[in-house]
Copies of this chain bind each other. A is one copy, B any other.
């Protein structure tokens, strides 16, 4: 559960990879699906599907025709993994009763916590939004650690049900 789709996983891998290559060449490299397929081991048609999605979302620029391919223009630390997820899997919506979701929750009328899922959802989106591709490229040791702690779930922080 709570699994993001394989396509999204691929997408992150590819974006990181492209960023790294870009860094080495210190220029905007144009990647063909064939090249990326080779680099990552993901079958070519699938690579195409992923990149199409990313380009539609504006995370990549596509260049058609011979000598064409995909170009990353934003640097790795300007792209969050949340953006990538949303590009391929649509808006992050934990439950059916979250704003972005299309169909509504079955128990909506009896459940007194409609709005609360939104908060939880936002928190997760925020956590995902904090992590950039640059972070993903780091060795685990230097990883920034997306902030979430602050209060273990036993204690009341300040905004809790104290009021």
A residues contacting B by CB (< 8 A) are 1-6, 8-10, 12-13, 16-17, 20, 39-42, 77-78, 80-81, 85, 88-90, 92-97, 105-107, 109-116, 118-120, 123-124, 126-132, 134-140, 142-154, 156-161, 163
Contacts and interface: CB of A to CB of B under 8 A. Distances in A.
A116 B131 CA distance: 10
Given A85-B1, A147-B151, A152-B130, A140 B159 contact: no
A137 B118 contact: no
A40 B107 CA distance: 6
The count of identical subunits is 2
Given A41-B110, A107-B13, A132-B153, A148 B148 contact: yes
A147 B148 contact: yes
Contacts of A115: 139-140, 143
B116 A135 contact: yes
Contact of A134 (B127, B140, B160): B160
Nearest to A116: B136
28 contacts: A1-B88, A1-B92, A2-B2, A2-B92, A3-B96, A13-B110, A13-B111, A13-B113, A16-B111, A16-B113, A42-B107, A77-B161, A78-B154, A80-B153, A112-B137, A113-B137, A114-B140, A116-B135, A116-B136, A120-B131, A123-B146, A123-B147, A124-B127, A129-B153, A130-B153, A135-B161, A144-B159, A144-B160
